Structure 1
Amino acid sequence: MTLQETLTKHILEAVHSVFNLTIDKVEFQATRKDFEGDITMVVFPLVKALKGNPVEIGTKIGTYLVENVAVVEKFNVVAGFLNIVISDTFYVDFFNTIKNQDTFGYVAPVEGDKAIMVEYSSPNTNKPLHLGHIRNNLLGYSVAEIIKASGKKVYKTQIINDRGIHICKSMLAWQKFGEGVTPEDTGLKGDKLVGNFYVAFDKQYKKEINELMAQGKTEEEAKKMAPSIQEAQEMLRKWEAGDEEVVALWKKMNQWVYDGFAQTYQNLGVDFDSYYYESNTYLLGKEVVQFGLEKGIFEKDPDGSVWIDLTADGLDRKIVLRSDGTAVYMTQDIGTAIQRVKDHADIGGMVYTVGNEQDYHFKVLFLILKKLGFDWAEHLFHLSYGMVELPSGKMKSREGTVVDADDLMEEMTETAQKISEELGKLDGYTDIEKAALYKVIGLGALKYYMLKVDPKKQMLFNPEESVDFNGNTGPFIQYTYARIQSILRKADFDYSTVAITSSGLEMQEKEKELIKQVQLFPEVVQNAATHHSPALIANYTYDLVKEFNSFYQNVPILPEQNLEKKAFRVQLSKTVGNTIKNAFHLLGIQVPERM
Structure 2
Amino acid sequence: MTLHQTLTTHIQKAVVEIFDLTIEKVEFQATRKDFEGDITMVVFPLVKALKGNPATIGNQIGEYLVANAKEVSKFNVVGGFLNIVISDAFYVNFFNSIKEVENFGFVTPNANEKAVMVEYSSPNTNKPLHLGHIRNNLLGYSVAEIIKASGKKVYKTQIINDRGIHICKSMLAWQKFGNGQTPESTGLKGDKLVGNFYVAFDKHYKEEIATLMAEGKSEEEAKKLAPSILEAQQMLLDWENGKPEVIALWKTMNQWVYDGFEQTYKNLGVDFNIPNYYESDTYLLGKEVVQLGLEKGIFEKDADGSVWIDLTEDGLDRKIVLRSDGTAVYMTQDIGTAIQRVKDFPDVGGMVYTVGNEQDYHFKVLFLILKKLGFDWADSLYHLSYGMVELPSGKMKSREGTVVDADDLMEEMTATAKTLSEELGKLEGYSEADKAAMYNTIGLGALKYYILKVDPKKQMMFNPEESVDFAGNTGPFIQYTYARIQSILRKADFDYTNVVISSDIEMHEKEKELIKQIQLFPEVIQSGAENHSPALIANYTYELVKEFNSFYQQVSILGEENQDKKVFRVQLAKTVGNTIKNAFSLLGINVPERM
Place the TM-score, normalised by the shorter chain, in its bin. over 0.9
Q: What is the CA deviation profile of residues 134-175 of structure 1, one whole-angstrom value per residue up to 9, with x for unaligned ones?
A: 000000000000000000000000000000000000000000
User: Paired residue for 1:568?
Assistant: 568
User: Paired residue for 1:411?
Assistant: 412
Q: Secondary structure at the match of 2:158?
A: strand
1:327 Cα offset (Å): 0.9
Residue correspondence of structure 1 range 516-527 to structure 2 within 5 A: 516-527=516-527
**CA distance in structure 1 between the partners assigned to 2:435 and 2:122 by the alignment:** 34
1:72 Cα offset (Å): 1.0
User: Paired residue for 2:511?
Assistant: 511
- Is 1:367 the counterpart of 2:389? The answer is no
1:498 Cα offset (Å): 2.7
Task: Write the letter of the residue equivalent to 1:373.
Answer: G
User: Paired residue for 1:421?
Assistant: 422
- Structure 1, unmatched stretches of 5+, are none
Residue correspondence of structure 1 range 573-592 to structure 2 within 5 A: 573-592=573-592
- Is 1:466 the counterpart of 2:470? The answer is no
- Is 1:302 the counterpart of 2:298? The answer is no
347-356 or 3-12, which deviates more: 3-12
User: Paired residue for 1:15?
Assistant: 15
1:502 Cα offset (Å): 1.6
User: Paired residue for 2:51?
Assistant: 51
Q: What is the CA deviation profile of residues 242-293 of structure 1, one whole-angstrom value per residue up to 9, with x for unaligned ones?
A: 0000000000000000000000000000001220000000001111111111
**CA distance in structure 2 between the partners assigned to 1:224 and 1:38 by the alignment:** 69
User: Paired residue for 1:95?
Assistant: 95
Residue correspondence of structure 1 range 523-562 to structure 2 within 5 A: 523-562=523-562
1:427 Cα offset (Å): 2.3
1:324 Cα offset (Å): 0.9
User: Paired residue for 2:494?
Assistant: 493
**CA distance in structure 2 between the partners assigned to 1:472 and 1:211 by the alignment:** 53
Q: Among the aligned pairs, what percent are the same residue? A: 82
**CA distance in structure 1 between the partners assigned to 2:521 and 2:140 by the alignment:** 21
**CA distance in structure 1 between the partners assigned to 2:33 and 2:418 by the alignment:** 40
- Is 1:145 the counterpart of 2:133? The answer is no
**CA distance in structure 2 between the partners assigned to 1:82 and 1:20 by the alignment:** 20
- Is 1:282 the counterpart of 2:294? The answer is no
Task: Write the letter of the residue equivalent to 1:482.
Answer: A
User: Paired residue for 1:265?
Assistant: 265
**CA distance in structure 2 between the partners assigned to 1:293 and 1:21 by the alignment:** 52
- Is 1:450 the counterpart of 2:480? The answer is no
**CA distance in structure 2 between the partners assigned to 1:32 and 1:312 by the alignment:** 47
1:296 Cα offset (Å): 1.1
User: Paired residue for 1:188?
Assistant: 188
User: Paired residue for 2:397?
Assistant: 396
427-436 or 209-218, which deviates more: 427-436
Task: Write the letter of the residue equivalent to 2:336.
Answer: G
Task: Write the letter of the residue equivalent to 1:35.
Answer: F
Q: What is the CA deviation profile of residues 303-326 of structure 1, one whole-angstrom value per residue up to 9, with x for unaligned ones?
A: 111111111111111111111111
**CA distance in structure 1 between the partners assigned to 2:433 and 2:423 by the alignment:** 18
Is this contact kept in 1: 2:111–2:153, CA < 8 A?
A: no
User: Paired residue for 2:178?
Assistant: 178
User: Paired residue for 1:329?
Assistant: 330
Q: What is the CA deviation profile of residues 12-48 of structure 1, one whole-angstrom value per residue up to 9, with x for unaligned ones?
A: 1001111111111111111111111111111111111
Q: Secondary structure at the match of 2:497?
A: helix
Q: Secondary structure at the match of 1:393?
A: coil
Q: Secondary structure at the match of 1:402?
A: coil
Q: Secondary structure at the match of 1:496?
A: coil
Q: What is the CA deviation profile of residues 191-249 of structure 1, one whole-angstrom value per residue up to 9, with x for unaligned ones?
A: 00000000000000000000100111000000000000000000000000000000000
1:109 Cα offset (Å): 1.1
User: Paired residue for 1:249?
Assistant: 249
**CA distance in structure 1 between the partners assigned to 2:193 and 2:543 by the alignment:** 44
**TM-score normalised over the length of structure 1:** 0.99
Is this contact kept in 2: 1:451–1:535, CA < 8 A?
A: yes
Is this contact kept in 2: 1:498–1:564, CA < 8 A?
A: no
CA RMSD of aligned residues (A): 0.7
**CA distance in structure 1 between the partners assigned to 2:456 and 2:426 by the alignment:** 35
1:4 Cα offset (Å): 1.3
193-202 or 105-114, which deviates more: 105-114
Task: Write the letter of the residue equivalent to 1:233.
Answer: Q
Is this contact kept in 2: 1:499–1:564, CA < 8 A?
A: no
Is this contact kept in 2: 1:118–1:156, CA < 8 A?
A: yes
**CA distance in structure 2 between the partners assigned to 1:174 and 1:111 by the alignment:** 49
- Is 1:480 the counterpart of 2:517? The answer is no
1:70 Cα offset (Å): 1.3
Q: Secondary structure at the match of 2:276?
A: strand
**CA distance in structure 2 between the partners assigned to 1:426 and 1:143 by the alignment:** 32
**CA distance in structure 2 between the partners assigned to 1:219 and 1:499 by the alignment:** 79
User: Paired residue for 2:380?
Assistant: 379
The number of residue pairs the alignment matches comes to 594
Q: What is the CA deviation profile of residues 321-351 of structure 1, one whole-angstrom value per residue up to 9, with x for unaligned ones?
A: 1111111101110010000000000000000
Task: Write the letter of the residue equivalent to 1:317.
Answer: R
Task: Write the letter of the residue equivalent to 2:8.
Answer: T
> 4+ residue stretches of structure 1 with deviation over 2 A?
none
Is this contact kept in 2: 1:72–1:86, CA < 8 A?
A: yes
Task: Write the letter of the residue equivalent to 1:377.
Answer: A
1:64 Cα offset (Å): 0.5
Is this contact kept in 2: 1:445–1:467, CA < 8 A?
A: yes
**TM-score normalised over the length of structure 2:** 0.99
**CA distance in structure 2 between the partners assigned to 1:70 and 1:512 by the alignment:** 17
User: Paired residue for 2:205?
Assistant: 205
1:530 Cα offset (Å): 0.3
User: Paired residue for 1:594?
Assistant: 594
415-424 or 125-134, which deviates more: 415-424
Q: Secondary structure at the match of 2:426?
A: coil
**CA distance in structure 2 between the partners assigned to 1:573 and 1:159 by the alignment:** 43
Is this contact kept in 2: 1:303–1:323, CA < 8 A?
A: yes
Task: Write the letter of the residue equivalent to 1:278.
Answer: E
Q: Secondary structure at the match of 2:285?
A: coil
Q: Secondary structure at the match of 1:117?
A: strand
1:531 Cα offset (Å): 0.4
